[in-house]
């Protein structure tokens, strides 16, 4: 069985959801409610019945209600009275919208809420520079569908039916719904105006039409996991530079920005050096050491004034420290130094001597050959 791509076993991804969080699904009921609400609140006109303003009610045509109204040509209440004016709608079909294919149904997009009840705006935040904690919702891409509705509307007069048709035609090819929830592209087609007499010789004026709605569906859960994942924005972003150094201190990889590294190569390579060399005393009372195969590196011109010259040979300063085990030694007081042919010679003076348990350690800006 394939692994559910929405499932994340890590505990840090398991974030508590509140009741007022972002709605996690879009169902057929949500589409029905959006279309019916928009018809009632926006599309259908307010009719004038002898100086009385009448708002056209909208009812959903379930199977019994729709078939009864279709058979009798009108809609009656439980007492048998014809209801005029009234508008009835029912969902007649749902089909895949092939014009908007979904290549990967598990790809998600982000919805961000900047402020919440737990992260309120205040003027104190402006004074302290406190940044909001973003709540991020990773929402799975929905399936796109075309929903078809059949509609019937009744009125007492032909003039009233004309107003209904005019309003429906004007609202066609627009997004219907609530701007705070859902809005779907809706197109009205196939107007059919009917004038007839019922069994009681009462004139009935009816209009029939179809509404095609381009919508989308998103289940609340898939394979036991929510399709809307909640997370939080980062509080701070820190940019750093990473380098990779070899054992001898040479830089093998450039900085993250090659142009920046190439422009400052000498400085970066010098700062990256931090080599350590250890020489053990061979006899008790040893006072001289010779270290072969090292190359002392002088500071680039850009850093010449900021380097601490801990070792000076022939008036040239090198950033190298000399230690007897862990005790730092001072040139001129503890030792003298010479450097020729990639070889450093240290002669210890002033009674400084070594035992076989001692180590001479030099550390700093040099490389081994």
> 62: closest CA among 29, 32, 90, 94?
90
**Two tokens at 34?**
């959006």
Q: What is the pLDDT of residue 251?
A: 46
Share of the chain above pLDDT 90, in %: 23
| Dihedral angle over CA of 224, 226, 227, 229, nearest 10 | -140
Per this entry, what is the length of the chain? 369
List of domains in the chain: 26-106+141-218 (3.30.2000.40), 273-368 (no CATH)
Cβ-count burial of 244 within 10 angstroms (0-12 exposed, 13-18 middle, 19+ buried)? exposed
Per-residue pLDDT tens digits for 138-155: 778 888 999 999 999 998
User: For residue 118, what pLDDT is reported?
Assistant: 62
Q: pLDDT tens digits, residue range 310-351?
A: 888 887 888 888 888 888 888 888 888 888 888 888 888 876
In whole angstroms, how large is the CA radius of gyration of the chain? 42
Q: What are the tokens at 91?
A: 């969902």
What mean pLDDT do residues 30-58 have?
91
Query: How far is it, in rounded angstroms, from Cα 79 to Cα 320?
Result: 105
Q: Is 304 left (phi over 0), alpha (psi -120 to 50) or beta?
A: alpha
pLDDT number for residue 250: 47
**Where does the pLDDT of residue 31 fall: very low under 50, low under 70, confident under 90, or very high at 90 and above?**
very high
Please indicate, yes or no, whether the overall pTM of this predicted structure exceeds 0.75. no
Q: What is the pLDDT of residues 115-135, one digit of tens each?
A: 666 666 677 766 766 666 677
Instruction: Give the pLDDT confidence score for residue 246 in this predicted structure.
Output: 47
Name the percent of the chain in helix, strand, coil, to the closest 5. Answer: 20, 40, 40
Q: What is the pLDDT of residues 264-278, one digit of tens each?
A: 788 888 888 888 888
């Amino acid at each position: 069985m394939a692994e559910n791509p929405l499932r994340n076993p890590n505990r840090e991804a398991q974030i508590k959801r509140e009741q007022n969080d972002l709605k996690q699904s879009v169902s057929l009921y949500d589409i029905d409610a959006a279309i019916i609400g928009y018809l009632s609140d926006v599309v259908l006109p307010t009719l004038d019945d002898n100086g009385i303003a009448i708002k056209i009610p909208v009812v959903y045509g379930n199977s019994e209600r729709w078939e009864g109204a279709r058979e009798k040509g009108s809609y009656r209440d439980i007492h048998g009275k014809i209801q005029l004016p009234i508008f009835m709608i029912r969902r007649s079909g749902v089909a895949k919208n092939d014009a908007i294919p979904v290549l990967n149904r598990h790809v998600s997009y982000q919805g961000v809420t900047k402020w919440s009840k737990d992260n309120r705006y205040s003027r104190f935040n402006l004074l302290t520079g406190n940044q909001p904690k973003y709540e991020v919702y990773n929402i799975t891409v929905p399936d796109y569908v075309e929903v078809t509705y059949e509609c019937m509307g009744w009125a007492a007069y032909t003039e009233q039916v004309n107003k209904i048709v005019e309003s429906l035609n004007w609202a066609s090819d627009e997004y219907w719904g609530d701007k705070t929830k859902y809005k779907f592209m809706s197109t009205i087609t196939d107007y059919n105006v009917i004038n007839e007499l019922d069994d009681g010789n009462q004139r009935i004026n009816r209009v029939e039409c179809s509404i095609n709605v381009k919508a989308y569906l998103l289940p609340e859960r898939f394979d036991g996991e929510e399709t809307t994942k909640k997370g939080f924005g980062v509080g701070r972003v820190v940019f750093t530079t990473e380098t990779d150094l070899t054992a001898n201190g040479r830089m093998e990889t450039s900085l993250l920005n090659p142009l920046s590294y190439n422009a400052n190569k000498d400085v970066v390579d010098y700062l990256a050096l931090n080599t350590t060399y250890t020489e053990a005393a061979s006899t008790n009372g040893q006072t001289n050491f010779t270290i072969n195969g090292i190359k002392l590196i002088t500071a680039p011109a850009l850093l010449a004034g900021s380097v601490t010259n801990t070792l000076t040979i022939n008036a040239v300063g090198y950033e190298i420290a000399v230690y007897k085990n862990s005790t730092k030694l001072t040139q001129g007081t503890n030792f003298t130094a010479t450097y020729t042919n990639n070889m450093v010679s240290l002669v210890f003076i002033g009674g400084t001597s070594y035992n076989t348990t001692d180590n001479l350690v030099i550390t700093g800006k040099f490389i081994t050959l």
